Structure 1
Amino acid sequence: MLDIFVSFRRLAAWCRAVPRAGALAVAACLAMAGAALGASALISPAAVQAQSAGATLRGHQGVASCAGSTCHGRSAADGTVVRQDEVLRWQEESSPTGSHSRAWASVQEPRGQAIVRRMGLDAAGVQRECAGCHASPGAARASDGVDCEACHGASSGWLASHYTVGASHARNVAQGMTNLVNPQVKAQVCLDCHFSGDAKGQFIAHRIMAAGHPRISFELDLFTTLQQHHDEDADYVRRKGGKTNSMRMWAVGQAEAVKRSLELFSQPARAMDGIFPEFTFYDCHSCHRRIYDNEEGGVSAVANPGRPIARGMPPYNDENMIMLLAAARAVAPDAAAAFDAKSKAFHRAMGANRAETVAAAQALRQSADQLSSRFASAAFTREQTFAIMDSIASDAIGERFTDYEGAVQSVMAVDTLLNGLVNQGMVPAGSATNLRVQINQAYAAVRDPNGFQPLAFRRALGGAVRSIRSLR
């Protein structure tokens, strides 16, 4: 398995300038990108596809409309403006760049079959629970998986004109293309399936994870890197107004993930499952931890200063909140204290009642929305980016890495931010590559969720950030 992870790490290096994520980050991405799980051999994919065929959304043209040899369907990246082999990369069977095209095919894989059996789904159930993310809602063929228009938007308004003389990105967007250059827009598109959405088949409930679906987590820039089908060359910069700012993409993604989580949690139908809470909103490993029943009465949980709740209460999954606070302290310091206070108020309200908790969630969501808008227009300078990494490893933030989810987010964040500095020409690629040993040690500290040790992780993360600090 480690050999596979190493191969994916090399692929990430090919997508961007520096070897990207360690074994855990890539594994997490692949577990979530396209979700890779769905139906069963007990349920014929053709049966579900037949249900989808009649639901084609107006304006959705399908993959074939993009796949001409003069468009995006070449076998070599020799286009004069864009690569023109984008469909080939989307279809790549052995790499993360092809995970979207494999989303529906995965319904026939053993893990997907097992999930369907455990959930007792028939063809209609697979359509209801799985097709919202494993296929494109507007497509005539579910077998295309997550196709071009699932991300770029239904193309009937811009397909015939987006390549003509005088075409511009702004005009394409005005004609219906999704503006994925805007990090807030991109985050909303990706969150629907890589976190949870409100449409049919896009909410990843605890029941689905209990049946075998991977844990859900979200880091926008990492997913963007592994799904990138284009080159950010001089022409791209001219057409799109600049290269992707990975630091901005990461920060906006954190803010939008907090917003989405709180939006869904605030809906009574989403927040409860019968008489039980919907556990998908809570920190998995705060409950899924080893239990000790001995004379010493050992307790494995560690106090978390960011969660003012009574011991024994399941805490809300705050992995994105922790990262958002770290970013705010460096880029929007005037708003950081208010966000921190609202975050703690939200956790505290969960020990009171539903009404107080929803009110606190809405206040926290508003604060996250304000930070998202500020981040979307922020420069994310070299100094600010180093300050974010320092903030993540600081005692004030580090003390909140008491559970696995937040720790995973933090090491992915440090890797993302360093990679962003390289992409923007702020740090030499060779210098960053020389720090892989320290970064990989931090990844190793979160390799096994069942063996996670908070203090050992904080030491490893601190070592990685100290080594990165030498590049300042």
Structure 2
Amino acid sequence: MRGSMRLLVSIIVLVLGFGLIFGAWVFTPYQDALAQETTNTAKTPFTDGIAHEGVMGCYGSTCHSRQEATGITVRQNEILSWQDDTATTGAHYRAYRTLLNDRSKAIVARLGLGPAQKAPQCLSCHTDGIGENLRGKKFQIDDGVGCEACHGGAGEWLTSHYGQGADHKDNLSRGLYKLEDPKTRAVVCLSCHLGSQAEGQFVNHRLMAAGHPRMSFELDLFTALQNHHSEDQDYKIRKSVASGARIWAIGQAMTLKQQLRLFQNPKLNRDGMFPELVFFDCQACHREISEDPDWRPNARPNPGRPYAPGLVKFNDSAMIMLLATAREIAPELAPKLDRQIKAFHNAVSGNGGDVLSASSALVRTADDLIDRVSKTGFTKIQTLDILDEILTETLSYRYTDYVAAEQAIMAVDTLLSSMIASRQVASLDVSDMRGEIEKAYLAVDNPNAYDQDKLIRALTVLNRRLKELR
């Protein structure tokens, strides 16, 4: 009887806790202007209504399917890289086949969606999931995430982009996406790697609970892993080339914007009486449960987010990385951003303020920082200073949960690679500290065994080594 009563009390506390955190903002009147802004879908190849010819339209030894990279203007073996079954460059090609494996079958069975390879919620990101009316004669749905899923429907530019005197600006006007621009690239990539406002292109907590992998993304690192082309000298003549550091910083800001815009959408930010939990930190709930009277909670207070124990915490990993960037390239904006982050967390937890206003303020500041990042050269000293912000205790004490720690380690790899590519540091010098980098990666190797103390020790050693690069 006492056990049943204890269970009942626990349920009541849980429901009241969600009521405090969610009731504070879910029933706030949704302003018409902002509702229009947030529910409008950003233009992507999935939503723009342009016809797609299919991957076969790009085949041919004079186009993109040579066996060797012997092309003059481009390598011309891009499809071979995309189809590589053994490398990360083939992940987009393999995406459709993922829908046929046992894990996917189990997920859709739990959700009652029918076959995964036919479910719109799955096809929207595991292949080029455009409508049947937009598919050309050579289009095959089982091609996976093909060329046009990222570069845009080729109906108007397929011929013009390889013709004599082909002009990149002309191709862009015909529907080719300017993916060399970090903001454009972020919009396209995040539409699947985070989610979008488009129907069926949002991974919610129900899908996660059914067995879908946790979403994780960093724009520059994932670009490198999927790289099918070379940014050589003639590429730089045709197109602008952003440094890896700039792509990383813009990616963090765009991730935050997309995350908050999705969170503001009343069609996406709740599931019944509960908040849509996919926006929150997984480990806020997924922690060890024990009836042992000597057991002590392993959750730690986070100086960046003033939540009381027991409240779910918003996933603020992009906020933390953006704050590190702001402290170096826009020091006058950094205190404002820090205040806005805390104000947002306060509003979400029901401790004052309006979530809609707080999140909109963060979006505006992210836009300001994107402008600053776009004009920043990311010198060696600037990049090392950003790394110093990420690795020192000022921010590392905020890595109380796995997702922020994961972003911190990916940032280290990305920013060091950027400095090598920009010839700001020697590759050999970075190779010499690969052991310290790997130890930091090991600290975030397993989300279920994340140890913040172990991570901070690894980051401290790594930061000492980084100072040798100055």
Alignment partner of 1:164 is 2:156: no
Offset of 1:354 from its aligned partner?
A: 10
* 1:316–1:347 contact (8 Å) kept in structure 2: yes
Offset of 1:355 from its aligned partner?
A: 8.0
Q: Which residue of 2 aligns with 1:141?
A: 140
* 1:72–1:87 contact (8 Å) kept in structure 2: yes
Q: Is the partner of 1:465 in helix, strand or coil? A: helix
Deviation string 1:351-408 (CA, Å, 9 cap, x unpaired) is: 2289811221111111112212221232111111000000001222111010111001
Q: Which residue of 2 aligns with 1:376?
A: 374
Q: Which residue of 2 aligns with 1:208?
A: 207
Equivalent residues, number: 417
Q: Is the partner of 1:470 in helix, strand or coil? A: helix
CA distance in 1, matches of 2:49, 2:434: 46
Alignment partner of 1:396 is 2:394: yes
CA distance in 1, matches of 2:251, 2:114: 35
1:67 corresponds, among 59, 72, 87, to: 59
Offset of 1:253 from its aligned partner?
A: 0.4
Q: Which residue of 2 aligns with 1:324?
A: 322
Q: RMSD of aligned C-alpha atoms?
A: 1.8
Offset of 1:124 from its aligned partner?
A: 8.9
* 2:387–2:415 contact (8 Å) kept in structure 1: yes
Q: Which residue of 2 aligns with 1:251?
A: 249
The TM-score with structure 2 as length reference comes to 0.85
Deviation string 1:243-269 (CA, Å, 9 cap, x unpaired) is: x41000000000000000100000112
Name the aligned partner's letter for residue 378 of structure 1. Answer: T
* 1:292–1:299 contact (8 Å) kept in structure 2: no
1:98 corresponds, among 90, 97, 100, to: 90
CA distance in 2, matches of 1:450, 1:156: 47
Offset of 1:297 from its aligned partner?
A: 4.4
Offset of 1:175 from its aligned partner?
A: 2.1
Deviation string 1:118-146 (CA, Å, 9 cap, x unpaired) is: 11212599523211101213344210111
Q: Is the partner of 1:103 in helix, strand or coil? A: helix
Q: Which residue of 2 aligns with 1:109?
A: 101
Name the aligned partner's letter for residue 62 of structure 1. Answer: G
Q: Is the partner of 1:162 in helix, strand or coil? A: coil
The TM-score with structure 1 as length reference comes to 0.85
1:339 corresponds, among 309, 331, 337, to: 337
Percent identity over paired residues? 45
Within 5 Å, give how 1:30-109 maps onto structure 2. Answer: 57-109=49-101
CA distance in 2, matches of 1:184, 1:56: 17
Bigger Rg, which one: 2
1:311 corresponds, among 309, 312, 326, to: 309
Deviation string 1:11-52 (CA, Å, 9 cap, x unpaired) is: xxxxxxxxxxxxxxxxxxxxxxxxxxxxxxxxxxxxxxxxxx
* 1:152–1:177 contact (8 Å) kept in structure 2: yes
* 1:188–1:256 contact (8 Å) kept in structure 2: yes
Deviation string 1:83-136 (CA, Å, 9 cap, x unpaired) is: 000011111111111111111121111111111111121259952321110121
Within 5 Å, give how 1:72-471 maps onto structure 2. Answer: 72-123=64-115, 126-138=118-130, 139=135, 140-242=139-241, 244-352=242-350, 356-471=354-469
CA distance in 1, matches of 2:162, 2:364: 39
Q: Is the partner of 2:95 in helix, strand or coil? A: coil
Offset of 1:206 from its aligned partner?
A: 0.5
Ranges in structure 1 where 5+ consecutive residues have no aligned partner: 1-54
Q: Is the partner of 2:93 in helix, strand or coil? A: coil
Name the aligned partner's letter for residue 188 of structure 2. Answer: V
Q: Is the partner of 1:256 in helix, strand or coil? A: helix
CA distance in 1, matches of 2:171, 2:48: 22
Name the aligned partner's letter for residue 113 of structure 1. Answer: K
